[in-house]
Amino acid sequence: MINKITRSQIKNIGKRLRCAKPDEKLNDNDLKILKEWRSYHAPSLNYFTDLLKKEATNLPLSSDQFTLTHRIKRIHSIILKLKRFPQMQLSTMDDIAGARIVVPSNNEVISLINILKERNSKHKIIKINNYIAHPKDDGYRSIHAIYQIDKTPASIQIEIQIRSLLQHYWATGIEVFGTLEKTSFKTGEGTNDWKEFFKLLSSRFAIKEQSPVLKEHEIYSTSQLNKLLIKAIRNLNIIEQLNAYTSIYTSNWRENRPKGRNGRYALLTLNASTNTTSVEIFPESKFKEALTKYSSMEKVYHSSDEINIVLVNLDNIENLEKAYPNYFMDTRMLSNILSHIVLGNF
């Protein structure tokens, strides 16, 4: 049980994960403890999901104007993050559990974070990372709020992500390209020409949203930035590649979904070797069963470059593809935007 787990145990598991070889199997006991540690975040995560839904509705936004989801971080992602940041401890990693809301525009992003900052809550915001005012070096833009949750036996942290649609298209698009190119742009991998494309696209989206561009692009006018971006799109045949590659991916989860079964949790498995995405739906009452299956699959595939697995919770399961287009290799909206950029009417 979780009350037998200490912060020292979690810290030591983090050290072992950091040193693990890519193909090394996870220790059964470590996996069990880590699974319980992650599930310990679930009640607080549900609380913040409900809070975000309430505040988004009060903006006011109708239910079809925002997409709300939350997830428990994948073991593979945890390992990659520990390896990228040697000083980070698993026991204080702030995005083991995270909720994300995607709203129509940057105006709603700013309005929502201001509401959260001013709101009296039993939980405290300990850090806000404004990646819109200060984009990450790779072009990532969003706002992250980190909450401290004081609980017994150990305090935890919950990350809230707030994105506009354009920011979401960019963030999920970079994951799709990572799958196609068999690399991880999110962790700094990939060729320079691809990384430069994503930077240019981020700055072009920033101009559209009247937000700061990347510092390295401040020397360019909008016209100059457009020309560089269009050149990159054409040189890399990006639109053609998107249309060719993503069209071969299939998923028949809706056809195979049990009729009359309401689900809130979805276990997504993207298989790059078979070009398919499978989905298993779980009702809220079977969260522990879903988490157990998630953990057992992670143990087998945590180092695989072909199999990508995630367990997510959606306010509305019908928005699954909209919330996670990268798991369905769906880049239709991004491809449409790139076409408009090339045609000069974005």
CA torsion angle 262 263 268 269 (round to 10)? -60
24 or 128: which leads in pLDDT: 128
What pLDDT does residue 191 have? 85
As a whole number of angstroms, the distance between CA 172 and CA 18 comes to 26
Q: Are 197 and 238 in contact (CB under 8 A)?
A: yes
Average pLDDT over residues 33-47: 83
Instruction: Kindly report which listed range (65-74, 196-205, 253-262, 329-338) carries the lowest average pLDDT score.
Output: 253-262
Res. 328 pLDDT band, cuts 50 70 90: confident
Domains and CATH numbers, the chain: 2-165 (3.30.460.10), 169-248+331-343 (no CATH), 253-328 (no CATH)
Cα torsion 101, 330, 72, 20: sign? negative
**Distance from C-alpha of 48 to C-alpha of 146, rounded to nearest angstrom:** 11
Q: Which of 112-116, 194-198, 237-241, 252-256 has the lowest mean pLDDT?
A: 252-256
| Cα dihedral sign, 39-292-321-137 | positive
pTM of the model: 0.88
The sign of the torsion formed by the CA atoms of 309, 315, 318, 320 equals: negative
In the structure encoding, which two tokens stand for residue 92, read together? 């204080």
Task: Determine contact, residues 108/164, Cβ cutoff 8 Å.
Answer: yes
Residues 264-294 pLDDT 10s: 889 999 998 888 999 998 888 888 888 888 8
Residue 80 φ/ψ, nearest 5 degrees: -60, -40
